Structure 1
Amino acid sequence: MTIGSAGEHTWRHRLWQHLCTAYGGPFTLVGPRETLHDPGTDAPTSYAYADPDFPRAHLAGWGEGWQHMVPLIGDAVRSCRADVLLVSLGLIDLGFYTNAEQTAENVRAFVAGAREADPRVRIAVLPVLPNIRVDADPPFAEQVTRFNELLAKTTADLDEPGSSLLLVPPPPSYDFRTDTYDGTHPNETGEHKIAAAFAEAMWQHWALGGPYGA
């Protein structure tokens, strides 16, 4: 949902566009990766962004979740000098790797790794959004609901004055039937809604950027 596929803008691009308009200070997107997922090779080898003229750096991976990011986040924060982390993870963990409680433990490990690299890093975390499997698989839906509850508790427990940990309210109108192209991955409207969720949270809580515009 964050790395995007060949031919897409990605919500990262939508957020960058917004910040270019709304933010008065210098900023850039950072991360050790730049590529998109290539459906033809099923690998992160594509640079075919719909609009390649933006800072494409990121840490996202197709099929990667909290457990995959835990061993990577410390080095990424140090090497890329990230001040703010925007995190949308969890669906793949719950779908294939870990239950809600295990996934929440990986959230704690992720935060610890990021703060070890930079004790003042700020982290904004989006809950798992509904997707087609949530709609069709009640036990999976229960795990998503449980994880989102644990995520809210975890962010509240770990929030610190010097290193803010923010739970981003999910986009209120987000609907996988209309905001994704396959029941999971965001289309243009979905990209804007995810970008808006992060943008509004950063503006309201950290005074970064401004209200999200079209």
Structure 2
Amino acid sequence: MRRTRRSSPHLRIVTVLGLLATLLLPLGLTVAPRATAAPAADPVRVMPLGDSITGSPGCWRAVLWNRLVTSGYTDLDFVGTLPTQGCGQAHDGDNEGHGGELVTNVADQNLLPGRLAATRPDIVVMHFGTNDVWSSIAPDRILAAYTKLVTQMRASDPDMRILVAQLIPMNPSSCAACAQRVVEFNARIPAWARATSTDCSPVTVVDQWTGFSTAGDTYDGVHPNASGDDKIAARWYPALAAVLDAGVPQDPGDPGDPGEEPGACTARFRAVSSWQGGYQGEVTVTNTSASAASGWTATVVPAAGARLAQVWNGTHTTAADGTATVTNAAWNGALAPGASATFGFVATAPATAGAPAATVTCTAKTPAA
């Protein structure tokens, strides 16, 4: 496990003793230091991910960076394909906050894998979806995009730590409905995170909405001013510090204990047919790791109050909130790299439910290195 190092007075002692030894060597005297500095670990790489609230200029990142450094978290590297965009204070400004971007477009166009490959983050700090909410995109579709991005993050690093914000309030003059849309979308995030989180790659929800005022903390009803930047950084700080204190694995794919461990996979939902009061769905699980999988588990979170009633080509359990966990059958668990397995199900749904939709995620069992 890798942890950030807090700066230590022992390093300063070693530096002074080393200088003293250099001065005394011509006199035939030597000084042996009492301590030796440990080899520097690679810094923990943190990607701030989102839209203009994160990147244009996204000055909460500067506030957060300086608070972390002041608190002793010295082995940090904020990463992203975009450079610093102002803010008027020294900080590590690399970020992945693209102004105007929709999270649904990033998912649909597969823009994230290239950005991950270029920056190799250990932790992703994500405030993303404001433009989607403004565009009146359905929460189910936004959450499906979240799920796809998380899957791509785990393909980059199976142990990715992911912090996801409940969005700051929004009340632009041109969108009277936006304020309530944010409330409704934020209400869905905790259940999505519980269904998506894994032991190896936990998803932590950070409440950026509570206590944030569009009147006092933004300059246009959407983008934070200096007061808003301080509030956003203050909410990110304890969640990120907790992850840093717990430590992150040294590298993606570090050798672990013998046996089997979760591997990378993707899950895709498809509605086969529907009727009033229910529908037939299908989920395809694909092994995206470089190793063969000996089994898989999929999580299905049906939208609009639907519940899985029958499953074939897998076995399932359903939680009280309707979340279903499906494990492979005896004959379809083994998947070569790139191979897929499909299971089907029938779901019951309220008569008022709209088109069938579900958020799906998966893990695969692969041999440990």
TM-score class, shorter-chain normalisation, is: 0.7 to 0.9
Task: Output one character per residue of 1:3-53: Cα deviation in whole Å (capped at 9) or x when no partner.
Answer: 124xxx7111111001111134401110111153xxxxxxxxxxx4423x3
Specify the alignment match of 1:50 in structure 2: 88
How many pairs were matched up? 193
Specify the alignment match of 1:89 in structure 2: 128
- 1:100/1:144 contact within 8 Å kept: no
Structure 2 gaps, min length 5? 1-52, 248-369
Which letter maps to 1:12? R
Match status 1:67 vs 2:104? yes
- 1:126/1:169 contact within 8 Å kept: yes
CA 1:75–1:206: 2 relative to 1, 3 Å:
same
More helix by share: 1
| Separation of aligned partners in 1, 2:182 and 2:71 | 33
| Separation of aligned partners in 1, 2:113 and 2:193 | 18
Q: Select which of 161, 164, 167 maps to 1:128.
A: 167
TM normalised by structure 1 equals: 0.81
Q: CA deviation at 1:143?
A: 3.0
Q: Select which of 55, 76, 83 maps to 1:34.
A: 83
Specify the alignment match of 1:103 in structure 2: 142
Which letter maps to 2:102? G
- 1:171/1:197 contact within 8 Å kept: no
Question: Secondary structure of the equivalent of 1:114?
Answer: helix
| Separation of aligned partners in 1, 2:150 and 2:196 | 8
Match status 1:151 vs 2:189? yes
Q: Select which of 198, 209, 224 maps to 1:186.
A: 224
Specify the alignment match of 2:60 in structure 1: 11
Q: CA RMSD in A?
A: 2.4
Q: CA deviation at 1:190?
A: 0.4
Specify the alignment match of 2:258 in structure 1: none
| Separation of aligned partners in 2, 1:20 and 1:143 | 36
- 2:167/2:186 contact within 8 Å kept: yes
**Structure 1 consecutive aligned stretches of length 4 or more whose deviation exceeds 6 Å:** none
Which letter maps to 1:15? L
| Separation of aligned partners in 2, 1:167 and 1:103 | 16
Identical columns (%) = 24
| Separation of aligned partners in 2, 1:72 and 1:118 | 17
- Structure 1 range deviating more: 95-104 or 175-184: 95-104
Specify the alignment match of 1:80 in structure 2: 119
| Higher relative contact order structure (alpha carbons within 8 Å, sequence separation ≥ 6) | 1
Question: Secondary structure of the equivalent of 2:169?
Answer: coil
Q: CA deviation at 1:54?
A: 2.1
| Separation of aligned partners in 2, 1:134 and 1:106 | 27
- 1:169/1:201 contact within 8 Å kept: no
Task: Output one character per residue of 1:106-163: Cα deviation in whole Å (capped at 9) or x when no partner.
Answer: 111111111111111111011122121499624x444323321222111110111111
- 2:217/2:224 contact within 8 Å kept: yes
Q: CA deviation at 1:169?
A: 1.9
Question: Secondary structure of the equivalent of 2:78?
Answer: coil
TM normalised by structure 2 equals: 0.48
Which letter maps to 1:124? L
- 1:127/1:170 contact within 8 Å kept: yes
| Separation of aligned partners in 2, 1:206 and 1:35 | 23
Structure 1 gaps, min length 5? 37-47, 210-214
Q: Select which of 168, 174, 178 maps to 2:212.
A: 174
CA 1:204–1:49: 2 relative to 1, 3 Å:
closer
| Separation of aligned partners in 2, 1:166 and 1:94 | 21
